[in-house]
Amino acid sequence: MGKILFILAVSLSGLFAAGSAAVEGQRDLNIAAIVMFLIFVLATLGITYWAASRTKTAKDFYTAGGGITGFQNGLAIAGDYMSAASFLGISGLVYMKGYDGLIYSIGFLVGWPIILFMVAEQLRNLGKYTFADVASYRLGQKEIRTLAAVGSLVTVALYLIAQMVGAGQLIKVLFGLDYEVAVILVGVLMILYVTFGGMLATTWVQIIKAVLLLSGASFMVLAVLAYFDFSFEGLFAKAVEVHSSHEAIISPGGLVSDPISAISLGMALMFGTAGLPHILMRFFTVADAKEARKSVFFATGFIGYFYILTFIIGFGAIVLLVQDPTFFDGNGKLIGGSNMAAIHLSQAVGGDLFLGFISAVAFATILAVVSGLTLAGASAVSHDLYANVFAKGKVDEQKEMRVSKNATLILGIVAILLGIAFEKQNIAFMVGLAFAIAASANFPVLFLSIFWSKLTTRGAILGGSLGLATAVILVILGPTVWVDTLKNAEPIVAIKYPAIYSVTIAFLATWFFSITDKSERAKIDQDGFEAQNIRCQTGIGADGAVSH
């Protein structure tokens, strides 16, 4: 571990030197920002070193030993959720589209009551490390774990794109590096953090950065409102005056213009929340179901408050940036793109020192989220696929952890490549697509496995697979990938938000193929519901998932 820290220190020094060379003769380096940035990175390395010495078993690696309190876990979940997509992406959407940027904030938030009242307690009582433990509790282990792992990996990949794009743009603006170099450096840091720190390091980085991000965003909002004597009316009136779209930014329809798209996006954000593997993993880090419920309660409060702040930050960026040419390039575009609106606003209201603070916190936000995502993806490979599908549960913990660390390396490389490919996409929108996948592939199987006695392995596999396939195909053939990324002239399908179709197909197919399943396996699946329900409510039973 000491050698790794030395290598990272050398890498960071190289980053500083490369950034200095890259911007020489262009714009002055923000020394305060870079120093605070490096201090924060070194501090998180210290947390990783501390966590590594306490991460000995698979339970430590995946769930921090189950020793996190409800309040701590609530802050950590909020930290997971207050990602680059939330802080940079939503504020960037509000900066561009005004009122409609709030759709993402509301959609992200309303999924939490579903988790609080329907999923949190059952997850903690039934599961061990991943949500596949729950989905496969009374169903076929091999089939369900394979489906859950594939759905998790696709969701993680899309979510990672958003974080890597945000990280690349942030480092590019701060250090003046090429975007590709910035993404690679972030990817390397991510791999090393997850490999050595596990869930304990990820949790404490999340907690610390959640506190700092809430504090920094609160200061930004107060500073913006101070310009207008704390009058929201004055802020919005000025934004309408200076924005090129004028009144359109305070009216709906700028981002989502038809009811089908609005419903589809809402379904993705609401149901996708309850299907995100890195969020669901967090309910295994607490001691019992009571602490799991407390986690959601605290997380909902922190997240709701934060999304109110991002809305005001977006309008503040309109007012304070649009009329200041120093934040725009020679083509009249915001430096770093719309995703950097919040970063530039921090400099506008607090100068270079506050820019340094917000930049460091934004990077920590991205770092912590990609760590959680990578850990979720790696656990899907090592715990669900390797340990329970290929090795059929006959594997020692140390070997499982080695597989997880190898999977982390592969996921890091994939994240780097995808981050480079999707450079121009708005990161909040990319997360919306990740939520659509989670809502289509993960949520229906998880939800029905807990609450529907007639669910069978065949129904879950076919329904979940069709939901996943529909969502992925519509995303690839739609405007986001087929036109914006692959540069084709027209999309094959004009559907930008696939959830209304893919989620519906997933639930209907799961229902149909379950009620028509008359196999012996189906009888076993349905007979196991009562035993599962007892464990859901009491937590009494075998540790982890068992196949009846």
The secondary structure of the chain in percent helix, strand, coil, rounded to multiples of 5, reads 80, 0, 20
Checking if the pLDDT of 544 tops 50, the result is: no
Helix (H, G, I), strand (E, B) or coil at 142: helix
Give the C-alpha separation, 345 to 327, whole Å: 9
Checking if the pLDDT of 323 tops 90, the result is: no
Residue 483 Rama label (left phi>0; alpha psi -120 to 50; beta)? alpha
Cα pseudo-dihedral 236, 238, 241, 243, rounded to 10: -70
Residue range 2-538 in CATH 3.40.50.261: no
58 HSE (CA, 13 A, CB side):
18
Mean pLDDT score, 233-249:
80
pLDDT-derived band at 504, boundaries 50, 70, 90: very high
322 HSE (CA, 13 A, CB side):
18
355: which 2 tokens?
């820019």
User: Which residues lie closer than 8 Å to 211 by C-beta, 6 or more apart?
Assistant: 75
**What's the pLDDT at 253?**
64
More confident position, 8 or 156 = 156
**What's the pLDDT at 362?**
77
Quickly list H helices, 119-258.
120-126, 131-135, 141-175, 179-226, 232-242
Highest mean pLDDT among 71-85, 175-189, 362-376, 514-528: 514-528
Checking if the pLDDT of 442 tops 50, the result is: yes
**253 phi and psi angles, rounded to 5 deg:** 110, -10
Mean pLDDT score, 234-243:
84
Give the C-alpha separation, 64 to 292, whole Å: 14
**What's the pLDDT at 463?**
94
Checking if the pLDDT of 458 tops 90, the result is: yes
**What's the pLDDT at 22?**
42
CB atoms within 10 A of CB 501: 20
Render pLDDT for 338-348 as a digit per residue (tens, 0 to 9). 778 888 888 88
User: Which residues lie closer than 8 Å to 107 by C-beta, 6 or more apart?
Assistant: 265, 266, 268, 269, 270, 432, 435
**What's the pLDDT at 266?**
82
User: Which residues lie closer than 8 Å to 518 by C-beta, 6 or more apart?
Assistant: none
Q: Which of 384-388, 414-418, 534-538 is predicted with the least confidence, judged by mean pLDDT?
A: 534-538
Checking if the pLDDT of 542 tops 60, the result is: no
**What's the pLDDT at 548?**
37
CB atoms within 10 A of CB 516: 11
CB atoms within 10 A of CB 248: 16
pTM, full prediction: 0.79
pLDDT-derived band at 249, boundaries 50, 70, 90: confident
Task: State percent of the chain over pLDDT 90.
Answer: 9
| Closest among 56, 172, 135, 52 to 545, alpha carbons compared | 135
Give the C-alpha separation, 328 to 6, whole Å: 38
Q: Please spell the DSSP secondary structure of 419-483, one letter per residue.
A: HHHTTTS-HHHHHHHHHHHIIIIIHHHHHHHHH-TT--HHHHHHHHHHHHHHHHHHHHHSIIIII
CA 212 vs CA 177, 360, 375, 463: distances in Å: 26, 10, 23, 42
Give the C-alpha separation, 390 to 378, whole Å: 15
**What's the pLDDT at 426?**
61
Checking if the pLDDT of 53 tops 50, the result is: yes
CA 101 vs CA 77, 110, 314: distances in Å: 22, 15, 9
**What's the pLDDT at 311?**
86
Mean pLDDT score, 25-41:
66
Checking if the pLDDT of 538 tops 80, the result is: no
More confident position, 490 or 107 = 490
Q: Which of 4-8, 145-149, 169-173, 227-231 is predicted with the least confidence, judged by mean pLDDT?
A: 4-8
Give the C-alpha separation, 477 to 469, whole Å: 12
Per-domain residue ranges of the chain: 2-538
pLDDT-derived band at 540, boundaries 50, 70, 90: low
Mean pLDDT score, 23-39:
62
